[in-house]
Structure 1
């Protein structure tokens, strides 16, 4: 993916694109543990499109937006992973547009468009 984005001369959004891919793939892997997931990267005249497919039909849900402070986070080892769930907000902030499309063969594609 890194090579393709650089080849398209979109190196200036590479870090943001890698973060979006990380969030989308992580969400798909959590939804469908030990199942196949797919990553697709393409471009059109408006930018790049990053899409991730998983088998699950359940739509992603973003946590309600709240303002957090460090005191709000439980940083104990037992609860460390409970502080996540903000990935969809990150994706929305970095994307020009994003959405979910049902796959007629099953599952769903979660996609995002990033402007160069």
Structure 2
């Protein structure tokens, strides 16, 4: 992620080779559809199985985060672009909150987790850590009309 106060640009080379930009319902079901669309591009561009698996996880984390901060009935926008530097995937949403860099990874013990049914899914916060581990780079680009694109440059 870019340092606080810096405004990185959605990474685009001067001549984009190919781009996919698609509004999608802010629904967990859209995560699978987004992956299907991006995977077809990655297959066409010759990405290996391992690289596609990493890309799937990266996209799932970014997409799930965007869906989580977007009101029901609204949409997020899937971005996938191939340029001279490789492939960048991103998801735009209208929420202005910028993800913070994740804290250092610590080893959790079972007692550290709140496993009560009403809090079972609240033990997360690993999405950005996963993205940073699997991507060649990542960042956030604020949108002029409000909101942002969270993006990651994929390893090939």
The TM-score normalised by the length of structure 1 is 0.89
Displacement after TM superposition at 1:113 (Å): 0.4
CA contact (8 A) 1:38 1:52 kept: yes
Find the aligned partners of 1:70 and 1:44 in 2 and give their Cα distance. 44
State the superposition RMSD in angstroms: 1.5
Match of 1:7 in 2: 44
Displacement after TM superposition at 1:89 (Å): 0.4
Instruction: Summarize deviations over 1:89-111 as a string: whole Å, max 9, x none.
Output: 00001111111111113211111
- The count of corresponding residues between Structure 1 and Structure 2 is 116
Find the aligned partners of 1:100 and 1:73 in 2 and give their Cα distance. 29
What pairs up with 1:81-92 in 2 under 5 angstroms?
81-92=121-132
Find the aligned partners of 1:62 and 1:81 in 2 and give their Cα distance. 21
CA contact (8 A) 1:46 1:115 kept: no
More moved, 57-66 vs 18-27: 57-66
Find the aligned partners of 1:41 and 1:51 in 2 and give their Cα distance. 6
Match of 1:27 in 2: 65
* Higher RCO structure, 1 or 2 (CA under 8 Å, sep 6+): 2
Displacement after TM superposition at 1:17 (Å): 0.6
Find the aligned partners of 1:33 and 1:84 in 2 and give their Cα distance. 20
Find the aligned partners of 1:63 and 1:92 in 2 and give their Cα distance. 9
Q: Runs in 1 of length 4+ with deviation above 4 angstroms?
A: none
Return 5+ residue gaps in structure 2 as ranges: 1-37
Return 5+ residue gaps in structure 1 as ranges: none
